[in-house]
Amino acid sequence: MMEKLEAQHVCYKKENPILSDFSFTFEKPLYGIISNRNEENSNILKILAGLLNPDSGSVLLDGRNVFTSFQKKERVIRKQIGFVFQSGGLLSNLNVLENLLVPYDFHFPDVSREEKLEKILIYLNGFGLSESILSERPAKLTISVRKALLFIRTYIVDPKIIFYDDPLMNCSQQVQRSIFEMILKLKEEKTIQIFCETVDAQMYKLAEEVILFNEGELYSSSSFSELKNSNSDFVTGLILRLFAE
Protein backbone atom coordinates (compact mmCIF):
# COMPACT_ATOMS: atom_id res chain seq x y z
CA MET A 1 0.00 0.00 0.00
CA MET A 2 1.32 3.43 -0.89
CA GLU A 3 2.03 5.87 1.94
CA LYS A 4 0.57 9.34 2.04
CA LEU A 5 1.80 12.58 3.51
CA GLU A 6 -0.74 15.05 4.80
CA ALA A 7 -0.11 18.69 5.61
CA GLN A 8 -2.81 20.07 7.88
CA HIS A 9 -3.17 23.83 8.30
CA VAL A 10 0.59 24.33 8.37
CA CYS A 11 1.80 27.86 9.06
CA TYR A 12 5.42 29.01 9.14
CA LYS A 13 6.69 32.54 9.03
CA LYS A 14 10.13 34.13 9.07
CA GLU A 15 10.51 37.63 7.63
CA ASN A 16 7.88 36.63 5.06
CA PRO A 17 5.17 34.01 5.31
CA ILE A 18 6.60 30.72 4.00
CA LEU A 19 3.52 28.57 4.51
CA SER A 20 0.13 30.03 5.36
CA ASP A 21 -2.56 27.59 6.44
CA PHE A 22 -1.28 25.00 3.98
CA SER A 23 -3.32 21.82 3.75
CA PHE A 24 -2.55 19.18 1.15
CA THR A 25 -2.36 15.42 0.73
CA PHE A 26 0.64 14.00 -1.11
CA GLU A 27 -0.16 10.54 -2.41
CA LYS A 28 1.08 10.51 -6.01
CA PRO A 29 4.64 9.44 -6.86
CA LEU A 30 6.18 12.76 -7.98
CA TYR A 31 5.45 16.36 -6.96
CA GLY A 32 7.24 19.54 -7.94
CA ILE A 33 7.11 22.66 -5.78
CA ILE A 34 7.46 26.20 -7.10
CA SER A 35 7.33 29.26 -4.91
CA ASN A 36 7.34 32.87 -6.03
CA ARG A 37 10.45 33.25 -3.85
CA ASN A 38 13.03 30.60 -4.78
CA GLU A 39 14.88 30.88 -1.49
CA GLU A 40 11.79 29.64 0.37
CA ASN A 41 11.57 26.32 -1.50
CA SER A 42 14.11 24.70 0.83
CA ASN A 43 12.17 25.77 3.90
CA ILE A 44 8.91 24.40 2.49
CA LEU A 45 10.55 21.03 1.83
CA LYS A 46 12.17 21.00 5.30
CA ILE A 47 8.84 21.72 6.97
CA LEU A 48 7.16 18.89 5.04
CA ALA A 49 10.06 16.56 5.87
CA GLY A 50 9.85 17.35 9.58
CA LEU A 51 13.22 19.12 9.73
CA LEU A 52 11.69 22.49 10.57
CA ASN A 53 8.95 22.83 13.11
CA PRO A 54 6.01 24.88 11.83
CA ASP A 55 4.49 27.64 13.92
CA SER A 56 1.21 25.74 13.84
CA GLY A 57 -0.43 22.83 12.06
CA SER A 58 0.95 19.37 11.50
CA VAL A 59 2.40 17.09 8.84
CA LEU A 60 1.39 13.45 9.09
CA LEU A 61 2.94 10.44 7.41
CA ASP A 62 0.33 7.71 7.43
CA GLY A 63 -1.35 9.45 10.33
CA ARG A 64 1.85 9.91 12.39
CA ASN A 65 3.40 13.31 13.02
CA VAL A 66 6.75 13.78 11.28
CA PHE A 67 7.99 16.39 13.76
CA THR A 68 9.78 13.92 15.85
CA SER A 69 11.64 13.68 19.03
CA PHE A 70 14.33 11.05 18.97
CA GLN A 71 12.56 8.42 20.97
CA LYS A 72 12.84 4.95 19.53
CA LYS A 73 9.32 4.67 18.10
CA GLU A 74 9.76 8.00 16.30
CA ARG A 75 12.88 6.75 14.58
CA VAL A 76 10.66 4.46 12.52
CA ILE A 77 9.07 7.55 10.96
CA ARG A 78 12.40 9.14 10.13
CA LYS A 79 13.57 5.92 8.52
CA GLN A 80 10.73 6.31 6.03
CA ILE A 81 11.69 9.87 5.07
CA GLY A 82 14.73 10.67 2.93
CA PHE A 83 16.06 14.16 2.27
CA VAL A 84 18.62 15.07 -0.38
CA PHE A 85 20.14 18.41 0.56
CA GLN A 86 21.06 21.09 -1.94
CA SER A 87 24.69 20.99 -0.83
CA GLY A 88 26.84 19.87 2.09
CA GLY A 89 25.50 17.21 4.41
CA LEU A 90 28.32 14.66 4.11
CA LEU A 91 30.22 14.23 7.36
CA SER A 92 33.64 15.70 6.62
CA ASN A 93 35.55 13.71 9.24
CA LEU A 94 34.38 10.36 7.85
CA ASN A 95 35.36 8.71 4.59
CA VAL A 96 32.78 7.94 1.90
CA LEU A 97 32.04 4.41 3.08
CA GLU A 98 31.64 5.52 6.70
CA ASN A 99 29.36 8.31 5.53
CA LEU A 100 27.13 5.93 3.59
CA LEU A 101 27.03 3.52 6.51
CA VAL A 102 25.88 6.08 9.10
CA PRO A 103 22.13 5.94 8.29
CA TYR A 104 22.42 2.33 7.10
CA ASP A 105 23.96 1.08 10.36
CA PHE A 106 21.57 3.23 12.38
CA HIS A 107 18.38 1.94 10.76
CA PHE A 108 19.53 -1.57 9.83
CA PRO A 109 21.89 -2.72 12.57
CA ASP A 110 21.19 -6.39 11.84
CA VAL A 111 22.07 -6.39 8.15
CA SER A 112 25.57 -7.80 7.58
CA ARG A 113 28.43 -5.56 6.47
CA GLU A 114 28.85 -7.61 3.24
CA GLU A 115 25.21 -7.11 2.31
CA LYS A 116 25.46 -3.38 2.97
CA LEU A 117 28.64 -3.09 0.92
CA GLU A 118 27.04 -4.97 -1.94
CA LYS A 119 24.09 -2.57 -2.02
CA ILE A 120 26.38 0.46 -1.80
CA LEU A 121 28.42 -0.81 -4.75
CA ILE A 122 25.27 -1.28 -6.84
CA TYR A 123 24.30 2.36 -6.26
CA LEU A 124 27.87 3.60 -6.84
CA ASN A 125 27.83 1.76 -10.13
CA GLY A 126 24.43 3.25 -10.98
CA PHE A 127 25.87 6.73 -10.59
CA GLY A 128 28.99 5.84 -12.57
CA LEU A 129 31.27 6.13 -9.52
CA SER A 130 34.28 3.97 -8.83
CA GLU A 131 34.69 1.75 -5.76
CA SER A 132 38.01 3.46 -5.04
CA ILE A 133 36.29 6.60 -3.73
CA LEU A 134 34.96 4.66 -0.73
CA SER A 135 38.12 5.33 1.24
CA GLU A 136 38.30 9.02 0.34
CA ARG A 137 37.21 11.93 2.50
CA PRO A 138 34.41 14.09 0.96
CA ALA A 139 36.71 17.12 0.73
CA LYS A 140 38.84 15.29 -1.86
CA LEU A 141 35.89 14.69 -4.20
CA THR A 142 34.29 16.95 -6.78
CA ILE A 143 31.04 18.71 -5.89
CA SER A 144 29.19 16.56 -8.41
CA VAL A 145 30.43 13.30 -6.83
CA ARG A 146 29.56 14.62 -3.36
CA LYS A 147 26.06 15.40 -4.60
CA ALA A 148 25.74 11.88 -6.06
CA LEU A 149 26.77 10.47 -2.67
CA LEU A 150 23.96 12.41 -1.00
CA PHE A 151 21.51 10.59 -3.29
CA ILE A 152 23.09 7.20 -2.63
CA ARG A 153 23.06 7.79 1.13
CA THR A 154 19.35 8.57 0.92
CA TYR A 155 18.43 5.68 -1.40
CA ILE A 156 20.23 2.87 0.44
CA VAL A 157 17.85 2.96 3.39
CA ASP A 158 14.81 2.60 1.08
CA PRO A 159 12.74 5.55 2.32
CA LYS A 160 9.04 5.64 1.48
CA ILE A 161 9.06 9.34 0.78
CA ILE A 162 11.97 11.38 -0.58
CA PHE A 163 12.51 15.14 -0.67
CA TYR A 164 14.95 16.70 -3.13
CA ASP A 165 16.20 20.24 -2.59
CA ASP A 166 17.52 21.40 -5.95
CA PRO A 167 18.57 17.89 -6.96
CA LEU A 168 20.41 18.84 -10.16
CA MET A 169 22.42 21.70 -8.71
CA ASN A 170 26.22 21.21 -9.04
CA CYS A 171 25.81 17.88 -10.86
CA SER A 172 27.75 16.73 -13.90
CA GLN A 173 25.72 15.57 -16.89
CA GLN A 174 26.41 11.95 -16.08
CA VAL A 175 25.19 12.37 -12.50
CA GLN A 176 22.15 14.32 -13.75
CA ARG A 177 21.29 11.40 -16.07
CA SER A 178 21.58 8.93 -13.20
CA ILE A 179 19.38 11.15 -11.02
CA PHE A 180 16.69 11.29 -13.70
CA GLU A 181 16.85 7.51 -14.10
CA MET A 182 16.55 6.94 -10.34
CA ILE A 183 13.69 9.38 -9.96
CA LEU A 184 11.79 7.74 -12.83
CA LYS A 185 12.48 4.27 -11.42
CA LEU A 186 11.17 5.29 -8.00
CA LYS A 187 8.18 6.96 -9.66
CA GLU A 188 7.31 3.64 -11.25
CA GLU A 189 7.71 1.96 -7.87
CA LYS A 190 5.22 4.52 -6.45
CA THR A 191 7.62 6.04 -3.92
CA ILE A 192 6.42 9.56 -3.07
CA GLN A 193 9.00 12.10 -4.23
CA ILE A 194 8.76 15.85 -3.73
CA PHE A 195 11.27 18.24 -5.26
CA CYS A 196 12.04 21.84 -6.02
CA GLU A 197 14.44 22.53 -8.85
CA THR A 198 16.04 25.69 -10.15
CA VAL A 199 18.74 24.33 -12.49
CA ASP A 200 16.70 22.39 -15.03
CA ALA A 201 13.01 23.26 -15.15
CA GLN A 202 12.43 20.30 -17.51
CA MET A 203 12.26 18.20 -14.37
CA TYR A 204 8.84 19.66 -13.58
CA LYS A 205 7.54 17.97 -16.73
CA LEU A 206 8.08 14.61 -15.02
CA ALA A 207 5.98 15.58 -12.02
CA GLU A 208 2.43 14.35 -11.76
CA GLU A 209 1.49 17.49 -9.95
CA VAL A 210 3.20 20.87 -9.63
CA ILE A 211 2.30 22.87 -6.53
CA LEU A 212 2.53 26.63 -6.78
CA PHE A 213 2.91 28.93 -3.79
CA ASN A 214 2.36 32.65 -3.77
CA GLU A 215 3.52 34.46 -0.61
CA GLY A 216 3.29 31.19 1.31
CA GLU A 217 -0.23 30.41 0.19
CA LEU A 218 -1.16 27.46 -1.98
CA TYR A 219 -1.97 29.06 -5.33
CA SER A 220 -2.66 25.98 -7.45
CA SER A 221 -1.78 22.34 -7.93
CA SER A 222 -2.00 20.81 -11.37
CA SER A 223 0.03 19.01 -14.02
CA PHE A 224 2.80 20.91 -15.77
CA SER A 225 0.92 20.94 -19.10
CA GLU A 226 -2.11 22.50 -17.39
CA LEU A 227 0.15 25.11 -15.83
CA LYS A 228 1.67 25.97 -19.18
CA ASN A 229 -1.76 26.59 -20.62
CA SER A 230 -2.87 28.67 -17.65
CA ASN A 231 -4.33 32.11 -18.27
CA SER A 232 -3.05 33.47 -14.95
CA ASP A 233 -0.33 36.14 -15.27
CA PHE A 234 1.18 34.93 -12.00
CA VAL A 235 1.56 31.35 -13.27
CA THR A 236 2.85 32.42 -16.70
CA GLY A 237 5.35 34.77 -15.04
CA LEU A 238 6.63 32.04 -12.71
CA ILE A 239 6.99 29.50 -15.52
CA LEU A 240 8.78 32.03 -17.72
CA ARG A 241 11.15 32.95 -14.88
CA LEU A 242 11.83 29.29 -14.14
CA PHE A 243 12.74 28.45 -17.72
CA ALA A 244 14.70 31.65 -18.21
CA GLU A 245 16.90 30.70 -15.24
Partner 1 sequence: MVQKIAVAVGRQTFLLFAKTIAVFSFVFEIIYELKHFFHQRKITRLILIRQILFTGFEALTLIVFMAVAVGGIIILEGSVILPDFGRSKLLYTIIVIVIIRELGGLLTAFIIIARSGTAIAAELGNMVVNHEVESLVSFGISPVLYLVVPRVLGVVLSMVALNIYFNAAALAGTWMMANLFTSIPVSEFLYKLFSEIAMRDILSSFVKSLFFGFVVAVVSSYQGLQVNFASTEVPQRTIKGVVLSLTWVIIFDIIITAIVYLV
Q: Which of 5, 33, 44, 49 binds partner 1 (CB under 8 A)?
A: 49
Q: Give CB contacts under 8 A, 24+ apart, made by 129-135.
A: 133/96, 134/95, 134/96, 134/97, 135/95, 135/96, 135/97
Site for partner 1 in 102-131 (CB under 8 A): 102-103, 105-107, 109
Cβ atoms 189, 170 nearer than 8 A? no
Question: CA 210 to CA 208: how far, in whole Å?
Answer: 7
CB of 51 to partner 1, least distance (A): 6
Cβ atoms 163, 84 nearer than 8 A? yes
Q: At what angle do helices 113-126 and 96-107 cross, to 10 degrees?
A: 120
CB of 189 to partner 1, least distance (A): 21
Cβ closest to partner 1, residue 65 vs residue 202: 65
Q: Which of 58, 89, 126, 218 binds partner 1 (CB under 8 A)?
A: 89
Which range touches partner 1 (CB under 8 A), out of 33-41, 57-65, 99-107, 207-215? 99-107
CA dihedral for 117, 122, 124, 129, sign (positive or negative): positive
Residue 163: name the closest of 76, 83, 63, 75 by CA: 83
Cβ closest to partner 1, residue 113 vs residue 177: 113
Which range touches partner 1 (CB under 8 A), out of 4-12, 30-38, 57-65, 69-77? 69-77
Q: Which of 74, 143, 201, 220 binds partner 1 (CB under 8 A)?
A: 74
Residue 40: name the closest of 207, 227, 171, 213 by CA: 213
51 binds partner 1 (CB under 8 A): yes
Applying CB under 8 A, which residues contact partner 1? 49, 51, 68, 70, 72, 74-75, 77-79, 81-83, 85, 87-94, 98, 101-103, 105-107, 109, 157
